[in-house]
Structure 1
Amino acid sequence: MSDSWPRRRLLAILRGADEPLDAQELAKITGQHVTTVRFHLDVLTRESLVRQFQQPPRGRGRPRIGYSAVQRSVGYQDLAQVLADQLGADPRHRSEAAIAAGRAWGAKLDIGEHRVQSLEDAKDVTMMLMSELGFAPERDPSSETGDKVLIRLTACPLRELARTHSEVVCGVHLGLLEKVLARGGACDEMDVRLHPFVEPELCVARLELISAAREKTQGAATVPPGGDAEAFTTPSGRVAPQLRNADPNVAKQSAQQW
């Protein structure tokens, strides 16, 4: 696997795409120059991580070259179903077990020396970790305050699994993130949440100082701001009630307003 973050992001985007994408489309999505994108695609092709396809031209001209991620041969969807079944019938119990598994993973992960002494430190570590995992994270400066930051996860490499087994997939990633931040020194200071699918292709990681989070939620039930999914929260390990939203615009507004 290539250790270049731009290539990891391109690969994550291609894995989540429904059809091959060409270099121009990928450049528009990532904000990179098309020449840079073509360079990374050539590397990924040589590494047998993506495959090229000839596509019809737009108007006159030569056929376009589309790229698609090489699909893994392992049946991850079936594996996720088996794991979910083994974790019990109760979604809340499965979530708690998945979070515990993620924490165990985070305890063993080689993350180097990254001290978390402020909210800014926590944001940097989260960006680094999610980049390494292929989530193509993006900061959302417009939503940042002195006690809260949001990080947009734009290319989940396990998106399809998360759609059907969010309590397992998102629970593991949440436990992992919580443990990595705790190893840096933020165990009792940071409230960490993952909001899956606030938009069809977007999840959000929310980091908030615990003192501020308690003031906001004291005496009220915790619910996800939007989207047809649960909001996974730590450090207590609780899982918020599921909120089903019939209006897709509400999720988009929530993603902009958090």
Structure 2
Amino acid sequence: MADATAPLTDPTRALGRTRARVLGVLRDAEAPQTADQVAAATGLHVSTARFHLDHLVADELASRQVERRATPGRRRVLYAASATGVRSYGLLSEVLSGVVGSLVRTGGEPDSLRQAGTEWGGRLVERATPSPHPSDGDDIRRLTTMLAEIGFAPRVDEEVDLLTVALRQCPFREVAAAHPDVVCELHHGLIDGALSRLGSTWRATSLHPWVGPSRCVATLQRLADDDRQ
């Protein structure tokens, strides 16, 4: 079993800011992108964009294919974020083992999957981002740092009293595709548990799986005053 005190690590953090930005464009795209499209989205020269794209392909973080077309003309080279990415099956095993262990110890029904995720979310946010002096906005920063460390590649979009967190890469992808009712409940709990441990006024009110080819979206809302007691 993994060491519960060990820091979380995400191999994509070693990419560097520019290459990570290029990968982010691929992850956010609804369809494979050309080097010209990536260059336009990032402000890079097309040659520079292609350089980083080719390195992402070499690192198996992206795939490259030549488009199929029935009409005459030069076929474009298209790039897409790889479905491989970071995997955290050791973590998933630990969480599910906790659920089974609860059943064995009590001889009754285990805690809900979301509750199991909530407990782990509280532990993981401390492992990923210990911070004895939280500041304004620190709760969301620490939440996204934790999610990034696990391998979710999160992106936050803010509206009035509403945040959406796009989880652009699933570290449990294959299991989640087969059992979304199990894994997505754990994801929901992880987010809520981290926010609760941080004393945040935000809570995850919903998690919508597979809104894109490899993307889920969590919605966060502020607690009402009566719920903050």
Shorter-chain TM-score category?
0.5 to 0.7
RMSD (CA atoms): 4.4
Counterpart of 1:171?
189
TM-score by length of 2: 0.59
Matches within 5 A, 1:1-150: 1-3=11-13, 4=17, 5-10=20-25, 12-13=27-28, 21-23=32-34, 27=38, 31-33=41-43, 35=46, 37-57=49-69, 59-68=71-80, 69=82, 71=84, 84=96, 87=99, 93-109=112-128, 111=129, 113=131, 115-118=133-136, 120-130=137-147, 133-141=151-159, 144=160, 148-150=161-163
Match of 1:41, SS?
Answer: helix
Report the Cα offset of residue 196 of structure 1.
Answer: 0.7
Report how far residue 100 of structure 1 moved: 1.0
Between the aligned partners of 1:91 and 1:106, the Cα distance in structure 2 is: 23
Q: Deviations over 1:150-207 (max 9, x none)?
A: 133152424851734211233234324544xx2xxxx2x5242252118824513415
1:200 pairs with one of 211, 217, 220: 211
Amino acid at match of 1:195: S
**Aligned mates of 1:91, 1:26 — CA distance in 2:** 49
- CA deviations over 1:219-249 (Å, ceiling 9, x no partner): xxxxxxxxxxxxxxxx9xxxxxxxxxxxxxx
Q: What's the offset of the Cα at 1:67? A: 2.9
| 2:170 corresponds to 1:151 | no
CA distance in 1, matches of 2:86, 2:226: 43
Return 5+ residue gaps in structure 2 as ranges: 1-10, 104-108
Q: 1:194 to 1:103 in 2, by over 3 A?
A: same
Higher relative contact order (CA 8 A, sep 6+): 2
Q: What is the rounded CA distance, in whole Å, between the counterparts of 2:133 and 2:25 in structure 1?
A: 29
Count of residue pairs the alignment pairs up:
194
TM-score by length of 1: 0.54
